[in-house]
Structure 1
Amino acid sequence: MGRTHNPGEFMGHPKGLFLLFGTEMWERFSYYGMRAILTLYLIAAVDKGGFGWTKPEALQLYAYFTMSVYLTPLIGGWLADNFLGQRKSIIIGGILMAAGQFTLGLPKAYIPGMEEQVFFLGLILLIAGNGFFKPNISTMVGDLYGEGDHRRDGAFTIFYMGINLGAFMSPLIVGYVAETIDWQYGFIIAGVGMLCSLAMQIALAEKYLGDIGKEPAAKRKVAGEETASSRPLTKEEKDRTKVILIMSIFSIIFWAGFEQAGGLFNIYAQDFTDRMLFGFEIPASWFQSVNALFIIIFAPMVASFWIRLDTKEPTSPIKFALAMIFLALGFLVMVGATMAQGGDTTVKVSMMYLIMAYLFHTLGELCLSPIGLSMVSKLAPLRFASLLMGAWFLCTAAANFLAGFIGSFIGEGEEQVENALSIFAGFGISGILIAVVLYFISDKLVDWMHGAEGEHHTEEEIIEEELETSASR
């Protein structure tokens, strides 16, 4: 169902785009802010406001939390499509996430003896709210434009820039307050960000979105729109499905390494990195902003690079292989950091090690994440498109669990540096090996795509896909 009225335009786009831009920006501010401080809060000493958990315990919880964040959107998306509609789902999700952040922010003095129970309640509310919110808002951006509207690609570029802006700002603000003033205040500020998102949607959606997102998608389907589900898959469809599943499985290793950012890398930044700069100690959580900043800087450059290669542009499997090489390079940088420590947990290394690791991992992300989402949308048989997109995100969920599980092997005490070295080296070697495998099977995977790989896009379309990386996480 389209808009019932035209609220006007701004910068050549419907004003509703900028409402969705702000809604998603503040939601990402809220989520990435709490993610930046979660493990640090858990391992902080009790007398410093934390829980005093061991690092393995904190990273295992991080694993379960981030895995759940990728599972619940499958349920929330189904409920929105069949019963609630996108607008109601976003409001429900926003309320639950705001409640979750403020629950995490409750001063421990108010809940004596129930601190951990209240903490887990806050996480459950965040997970449930994310399931309603995450899968729905991007779809509404596309609904602002009619078929063939050339402004659609530029709209998504603007929208994804908002996501990255929120992801960049939140660790700087939330992290600083949490680490220097009080952890609970950090969660409260993240909650305020979620309230800003929610307030914009409640107050302005009717004016700027009209009827968009009100009616469940299932009710809008017309007769003959769906293909018969009983028809068996053709050989071409089977081959394309194999490509999606193979690439999804390979992506698990990439995301398991990449997601060390919020876990093991976060702890390494706090305990083993010299964060002094001109007499100011940089909060460990600030390093969580580096990835979003690098996306904003390098996404247009990478898009331009692919365009300039023209017919020599690498295929999707080769781009996946490049992503694995960049992942390996990032971990090899961290191997260098741990070797510089010489096994001594009292030695702190230059922050440039982490910054360079984040740079390589961001370049890898720009090679893999937008390519993966585009690949599923291009190759999936129409009647199984949602199922196979779900398989992609299920693999991402598995990767997030694996990230925390592997990171938890850092242990405690004198063994930490040696264990970190083993983890970093293991990811580095795995990345190189998988890149080699992808290189040698790339031609076969392209054959199984049956011509879908030959499509060419404009620079604006590729920039949109590159900036989309934060939306998929």
Structure 2
Amino acid sequence: MSNNNKLLMGHPKGLFLLFGTELWERFSYYAMRAILVLYLTDRTINGGMGWTVKDALSLYGTYTALMYITPLIGGWLADNYLGQRKALLIGGFLMVVGQFTLALPHDFLPFSVEALFYTGLGFLIAGNGLFKPNVSTMVGDLYEDGDHRRDGAFTIFYMGINLGSLLAGVVSGSVTGVWGWKAGFVAAGIGMIISLIIQSLFAQRFLGDIGVRPAAHIAKENAKAAGKSSTALTKEEIDRLKVVMIMGLFVIVFWAGFEQAGGLMNVYSQQYTDRMIGSFEVPAAWFQSLNPFFIIVLAPIIAGIWVKLGPKEPSSPVKFAMALFFLAMGFVCMVGAVLEQGGDLTVKTSMLWLVGAYFFHTLGELCLSPIGLSLVTKLAPLRLASLMMGTWFGFNAISNYIAGLVGSHVESLGALDIFAGIAITATVSGVLLLIISGTLIRWMHGAEKAH
């Protein structure tokens, strides 16, 4: 627990420090993500890279996959050697370097455009691996086992993530429209600097000793004091880890569909959507802010519904199934958009289809993402806390790679087939998860009760 015992909104103040740290890191990530594919596919005369849509979406999938797989390494390093706080600061610094490397002019010194671009991505990927699993794990560390506030804490934390994302889409879309693509990368770098400043100035005051020492060292000392093995897993721990791994498979299905937002749906909004409101054309990047806007509006409502349901609140597996059904409904909206075109690619479709898709996808995200983060901190043994959080993000890595792979085949398969295929896959997966939910709850050994 934090050394600071004063509460804010019923939660330790350290939660809101981590809220701010993650808010600006996510601003940095999403400001860059909102323009990445558009920057790659824009003509070189406009300062873009001049790539084909297929190559850009394939690179996008690989990049986002690596952003989610490297937390496995970062989590392990934090658990065993660095501690969460030091890993977070090192990772943040590397991401600052990455964003400003992307912002360098194309003719910078003797370096080629491609060399600068891939170097910048490399720094971002490495830094993210150290940052991402550890800030989420520290949120869980603020609460003792069995503390009923934990799920609510992750919902608050998740709102910080999406406030950063909301600001990112608007800022990135605006500055690139005025000053060009490189200005978007500069804005992303500034966001990451703010995140580092917040963490550096206030961590000791509001987090106390949380995240300072590697978790594996603490677990070893606790086990030695209790006369137990610090390495062997108990049957209960094995069952709980099985739940994490199985739930992760359904996470892959969800995010593989959801992450079309930054790829195929981003291209669709740019090329095939009527974005005119009177004489004003809505920048395509602004659609990236619909999801975080809906989250900020809907998160308190959803959290209130869970509280109101009380003992009838759905278990985590059931919430995950609901997420998959909402995802399917979102892609039904996208099927509607394609059908409106009637096979004529010159027809621009209504923005309302995209708004509807992002609305349903957001409902799904609220039933899955913060619940999943909380679940990992409930089920993972202390000595494996950051590693398992990294594993959880590893499922996102697989799904992001699949998302890019699927989106890159739009020219051969067609948008209608892709959108309809995702809707059907999500629906079938949701039904399957409902069927096995009872078994998963038994394996949690009391972490959650079946309702």
Does the pair score TM above 0.5?
A: yes
> How many equivalent residue pairs?
448
Aligned to 2:264: 264
Aligned to 2:408: 408
What code does the residue aligned with 1:202 have? S
Bigger mean CA deviation after superposition, 238-247 or 290-299: 238-247
Aligned to 1:228: 229
Q: Measure how far apart 1:364 and its partner are.
A: 1.0
CA gap 1:11/1:448 in 2 versus in 1, 3 angstroms: closer
Aligned to 1:32: 30
Aligned to 1:333: 333
- 1:172-214 CA-to-partner distances (Å, cap 9, x unmatched) read 0012212443000110111111112223333444555555433
Q: Measure how far apart 1:232 and its partner are.
A: 7.0
What code does the residue aligned with 2:290 have? V
Aligned to 1:49: 47
Aligned to 1:297: 297
Aligned to 1:466: none
Identity, in percent, stands at 59
Aligned to 1:435: 430
Aligned to 2:189: 191
Aligned to 2:175: 177
Contact 1:88–1:214 (Cα < 8 Å) also in 2: yes
What code does the residue aligned with 2:229 have? A
Q: Measure how far apart 1:54 and its partner are.
A: 0.9
- 1:438-473 CA-to-partner distances (Å, cap 9, x unmatched) read 3333344445545543179xxxxxxxxxxxxxxxxx
What code does the residue aligned with 2:403 have? A
What code does the residue aligned with 2:261 have? A
CA gap 1:383/1:23 in 2 versus in 1, 3 angstroms: closer
- 1:336-358 CA-to-partner distances (Å, cap 9, x unmatched) read 10111112221111111111001
Bigger mean CA deviation after superposition, 367-376 or 9-18: 9-18
Which residue of 415, 419, 423 corresponds with 1:424?
419
Q: Measure how far apart 1:435 and its partner are.
A: 2.3
Provide the alpha-carbon RMSD of the alignment.
3.1
Q: Measure how far apart 1:310 and its partner are.
A: 3.5
Distance in 2 separating the partners of 1:78 and 1:176: 38
Distance in 1 separating the partners of 2:261 and 2:218: 41
Contact 2:2–2:210 (Cα < 8 Å) also in 1: yes
What TM-score results when the alignment is normalised by the length of structure 2? 0.88
Distance in 1 separating the partners of 2:233 and 2:89: 39
- 1:130-155 CA-to-partner distances (Å, cap 9, x unmatched) read 11111222344455678898987776
Aligned to 1:355: 355
Q: Unpaired segments of 5 or more residues in structure 1?
A: 457-473
- 1:3-62 CA-to-partner distances (Å, cap 9, x unmatched) read 5xx698877776655443332221111111101111111111111111111111111111
CA gap 1:346/1:43 in 2 versus in 1, 3 angstroms: same
- 1:64-103 CA-to-partner distances (Å, cap 9, x unmatched) read 1111111111211222232222332222112110110001
Distance in 1 separating the partners of 2:419 and 2:149: 43
Aligned to 1:453: 448
Which residue of 217, 221, 241 corresponds with 2:215?
217
What code does the residue aligned with 1:228 have? S
Contact 2:291–2:362 (Cα < 8 Å) also in 1: yes
CA gap 1:51/1:111 in 2 versus in 1, 3 angstroms: farther
CA gap 1:216/1:440 in 2 versus in 1, 3 angstroms: closer
Q: Unpaired segments of 5 or more residues in structure 2?
A: none
CA gap 1:158/1:369 in 2 versus in 1, 3 angstroms: closer
Distance in 2 separating the partners of 1:101 and 1:258: 25
Distance in 2 separating the partners of 1:170 and 1:387: 28
Distance in 1 separating the partners of 2:439 and 2:9: 45
Aligned to 1:459: none
Distance in 2 separating the partners of 1:402 and 1:329: 20
Contact 2:87–2:131 (Cα < 8 Å) also in 1: yes
Contact 2:215–2:385 (Cα < 8 Å) also in 1: no
Distance in 1 separating the partners of 2:362 and 2:157: 19
**Given the alignment of the two structures, is residue 253 of structure 1 paired with residue 250 of structure 2, yes or no?**
no
Contact 1:32–1:171 (Cα < 8 Å) also in 2: yes
Contact 2:76–2:387 (Cα < 8 Å) also in 1: no
What code does the residue aligned with 2:223 have? G
- Aligned to 2:197, the other structure's residue is in SS state helix
Which residue of 74, 77, 81 corresponds with 1:76?
74
Q: Measure how far apart 1:129 and its partner are.
A: 0.8
Contact 2:79–2:386 (Cα < 8 Å) also in 1: no
What code does the residue aligned with 1:119 have? F
Distance in 2 separating the partners of 1:2 and 1:274: 51
Aligned to 1:470: none
- Aligned to 1:348, the other structure's residue is in SS state coil
**Given the alignment of the two structures, is residue 320 of structure 1 paired with residue 315 of structure 2, yes or no?**
no
CA gap 1:180/1:420 in 2 versus in 1, 3 angstroms: farther
Contact 1:7–1:207 (Cα < 8 Å) also in 2: no
